[in-house]
Amino acid sequence: MTARCVMVLGTTSGAGKSWLTTALCRHYASRGLKVAPFKAQNMSNNARVVAGGEIGSAQYFQSLAAQAEPEVRMNPLLLKPEADTRSQVVLMGQVNEALSNMPWRGRSLHVWPQIAAALDELMAENDVVVIEGAGSPAEINLHASDIVNMRVALHANARCLLVSDIDRGGAFAHLYGTWALLPAEERLLIHGFVLNKFRGDASLLAPAPQMLQDLTGVPTVATLPMWWQHGLPEEDGVFDDRTRAYGAVSKTVAVIAYPRISNLDEFQPLKNVPGVRLAWARAPADCAGADWIVLPGSKATAADLAWLRTQGLDRAVAAHAAQGGAVLGVCGGLQMLGEALIDTHGIDGNAPGLGLLPLVTQFDLQKTVRHTHTTFGELHGVWSALSGVAAAGYEIHHGQTAQHPAMAAGGNNAREVLADGLGWQNAAGNVLGVYLHGLFEDPRVLQALFGASAPTLETVFNGLADFIETHFEPGVLDQLIAP
């Protein structure tokens, strides 16, 4: 079979490409078609473990929406930012040090053959491939080295939708300007404009959509209303800082949003648990009144720990813990909670920890990337509800963590609550550190901690498909894959 390809492009980052791609995957899969997602290059510190290594979280969710097994061909190139001018390069699921050390523009020639091969294989094996672009296709400074937007569209002869976030303003200018900056052969691939995050009466947009079509020949095929709780996490970062809760707030969870935060998508279920308010914390004031403080994963643990101290958040976390408040560290957050970070290989950096757990982390050249099934041992204090609870998740880390021998000998022990060095609890019972990502995506953990559950992914995916079927112009979604 040779797939028909639909591609979702955006006028900007955050326009809505990822969730619309996910919705299209479920829409076409629900029609009985064999569907696969694809994104040639993803820049994100949100990653998932799949067959063959790791891919961006967005493609992982898109694959599940497509009712397909997630795999590395769906996101052949993943860039994980470690600093403003440096990223770890993951090619076909595996870290590639040579590419990581190569200048940005020099990578294209080296990676395009693998990208094209992965796309060709997916096209040969599926009825539909839904492709996501990155950023904007009209970044004219990057056009010559493009491997993720129009080069992919041309290779796949994809029918493209161009999405703009109308809530930010300037949507018609963004759409027209993006179209106008594309070469003529690439403009021909744009089959529809999509206005996303619209609030109000859509009839008030007239005559702008028709004027835009007169200028470009491209119709506006959907005006999508603002939808705060579609159920998917933001792909690249904390775009939506609004804090909400279903019903009366009974627990506030403050997640520290340091600059290189990773795998923040694992906290999405907390937004949907009744009575739980999720807040992103960048200053001590953001932690005031929180019941829990969570230190999430980090792609640059030592640098984010330095940022934490600069912001005064180290003192806020320590004061919260000293008062008996619950503190949870996940992966990089666990490493921060220890006594020290030791890096003899130049992977992340050396640093003193926060000292809330008697642990030391050493960074290893070998990266741990795996799915993990485990069971909590006996916990006490605020985390006692997890005692004996089975949990499934994933690990992505260079650090290897163990108790500090001198502290253990002195009686300042941490309780190991997950086997194989995956989790520890302090003596007081209120500080917990784990290497396991995805805890809050496990219904057993949510039930134990909150006595509640969040909507299943199947419910979310079906809701996304229903939403676009309602708001796209009749027949458009079928026309996109017509022969």
The angle subtended at Cα 455 by Cα 452 and Cα 457, nearest 5°, is: 135
Burial class (CB in 10 A: 0-12, 13-18, 19+), 41: buried
Cα 150 to Cα 185: distance, rounded to the nearest angstrom: 10
- pLDDT over 90 percentage in the chain: 80
For position 109, what pLDDT does the model report? 86
CB atoms within 10 A of CB 86: 12
CB atoms within 10 A of CB 404: 18
Q: Extract the tokens encoding 156.
A: 């796949």
Strand runs (DSSP E) across 4-113, as ranges?
4-10, 35-38, 41-43, 47-50, 53-56, 77-83, 86-91, 94-95
Fill in the amino acid letter for 150: M
Question: Which residues are CB-neighbours of 59 under 8 A, at least 6 positions away?
Answer: 37, 38, 39, 42, 70, 74, 75, 132
Cα 224 to Cα 470: distance, rounded to the nearest angstrom: 9
Residue 456 clears pLDDT 90, i.e. is over it:
no
Angstrom distances, CA of residue 339 to CA of 4, 331, 342, 357: 54, 15, 10, 7
Query: Is the backbone of residue 252 left (phi > 0), alpha (psi -120 to 50) or beta?
Result: beta
Catalytic residue IDs: 331, 437
For position 422, what pLDDT does the model report? 95
For position 440, what pLDDT does the model report? 94
Q: Extract the tokens encoding 10.
A: 């955006």
Cα 374 to Cα 421: distance, rounded to the nearest angstrom: 11
Question: Which residues are CB-neighbours of 70 under 8 A, at least 6 positions away?
Answer: 48, 50, 51, 55, 59, 60, 63, 64
For position 450, what pLDDT does the model report? 93
What does the pLDDT average to over 186-202?
A: 96
Greater confidence (8 vs 237) lies with 8
Could you tell me whether strands 190-198 and 251-256 are parallel, antiparallel, or unpaired per DSSP bridges?
Answer: unpaired
User: Residue 252: helix, strand or coil by DSSP?
Assistant: strand
What is 272-338 written as a DSSP string? GSTTEEEEEESSGGGGTT-SEEEE-EESSHHHHHHHHHHHTHHHHHHHHHHTT-EEEEETHHHHHHS
What does the pLDDT average to over 8-27?
A: 96
Confidence tier at 234 by pLDDT (50, 70, 90)? low
Q: Whose CA is closest to 382, among 351, 410, 352, 417?
A: 417
- Tens digits of per-residue pLDDT, 381-410? 999 999 999 999 999 999 999 997 766 555
- pLDDT over 70 percentage in the chain: 95
Greater confidence (452 vs 194) lies with 194
For position 237, what pLDDT does the model report? 54
